[in-house]
Amino acid sequence: MRITLMHNPTAGQGQHSKKSLLRALREAGYDPCYQSTDEDDFPRALSALGELVAIAGGDGTVNKVVKHLIGRDIPIAILPLGTANNISKTLGIDDSLENLITGWASAARRKFDVGVVESPWGTTHFIEAVGVGMFPQMMPLVSTAKKGHGFASSNDELEYDLEAFKTLLYNYRPQAWQITLDGQDYSGRYLLVEAMNIQNIGPNICVAPLADPGDGHLDVVLITEEERETFGQYLTNCLSGDETTPDFTVCRGKHLQLRWEGSEIHFDSDIWAANKTPFEKVNPLKQATPVTLEIRLEPHALEFLVPT
C-alpha cells in the first residue's frame, strides 16, 4: 500500500528520525512517500495522495495537516510524537509506534467532525477546540515562561505546564460573555469558555470527558468563579497522577453563538486578539469589535484509523 508520511522532525524532541520511520513503515509492508511538515510547501505533498495519510507528530502537526484533508475521503493514521497528544488520546491511539503501524491493516475507521467558525473576517476551521477566557490568555504566558527551558521528557514538560496553569488560575478574573447554544441563553461570567470537539485541552487537561468528535455535537465547557477551587484541585490531582475529572458544567449542542469583544481567542493552538498584546505568540487581528461568532461542526469531515 502506498502511503503519504507527513512528519514533524522536531516532535518528540527529535527522537524519531525520518530514517527510522521509513524503515518501520517498509518493514510493515508499506510504500511510503515522505514529506517534512517543517517545509513551507508541505501541502503540495497532499495533492497526489496514496491510499493512506500517516501523520507523525503532535497535535499541532495533526491540525496543520488534516485541515488540508477536510472532505477528501482519505483515511488518516496518527503516530503521536508530541507532548500532549490530545487528539490521539481522545481517539484511544496509545501504543508503541511499531504496534500502531502493524495495527493499521485491521484498524477501525472512525469518522471525525471538524469545527467551523463563521465570523466577519471569514471562515476558520478547528479540530480540537475554540475558546476564550483563561486558557488562551494563559497559553502565551506559559509559552514565554518556558523559553530556553530544557525538558528531559514530555512528562516533565506537561508537569511544568500544569504547575504554571495552576499558579495563573488563582490570579485570573472571570469575564462576562454573551453565549447562546441552540437558542438557549448561557450568558454569564466565566473563567473559561471552551467549545470542545475532543476531550482535552493544553497539557492533557480533561474538561469534556464525554466529548465524542464524531457525534455532531459541541461540548461547551463553562467554568465559573464558584468552580475555581475545584479546577485548581483537579490540576493538583493531575500532578499526582489522579486524572479523575470533576463534574464541570458542560452543555451539548450544535450551534454556538459567542459575542466576542476582542480579547484573546484560540482556534486549536492558534491565538488571536483584536486588542494590543505584548506576546509574540498572539496574532494581531485587525477587526472592529464586538462581533458575534457562529460556531458549529461539519459532521464526519475526516476519517481516522483507530487500531483495535
The whole-number average pLDDT for the span 166-187 is 96
Q: Is the pTM of this model over 0.85?
A: yes
Could you tell me if residue 157 is inside a domain? yes
From 44, 78, 106, give the residue that closes a domain: 106
Could you tell me if residue 275 is inside a domain? yes
Specify the residue for cell string 455535537.
Answer: 217
Domain count of the fold of the chain: 2
Residue 14 has pLDDT above 80, yes or no: no
Looking at the structure, tell me whether residues 74 and 215 fall in a common domain.
no
Check residue 284 and give its pLDDT.
75
232 closest CA partner among 173, 169, 141: 169
Looking at the structure, tell me whether residues 89 and 123 fall in a common domain.
no
From 55, 84, 106, give the residue that closes a domain: 106
278: CB partners within 8 A, 6+ apart: none
pLDDT band at 209 (very low <50, low <70, confident <90, very high): very high
Residue 56 has pLDDT above 70, yes or no: yes
Could you tell me if residue 195 is inside a domain? yes
Residue 103 has pLDDT above 70, yes or no: yes
Looking at the structure, tell me whether residues 45 and 128 fall in a common domain.
no
| Residue 141 in grid coordinates | 504566558
Looking at the structure, tell me whether residues 280 and 170 fall in a common domain.
yes
Could you tell me if residue 305 is inside a domain? no
16: domain CATH number is: 3.40.50.10330
**Extended beta strands in 156-290, E state:** 175-181, 184-185, 188-190, 192-196, 200-201, 205-206, 218-223, 249-253, 256-260, 265-267, 270-273, 282-284
Looking at the structure, tell me whether residues 280 and 178 fall in a common domain.
yes
* Residue 15, domain extent: 2-106
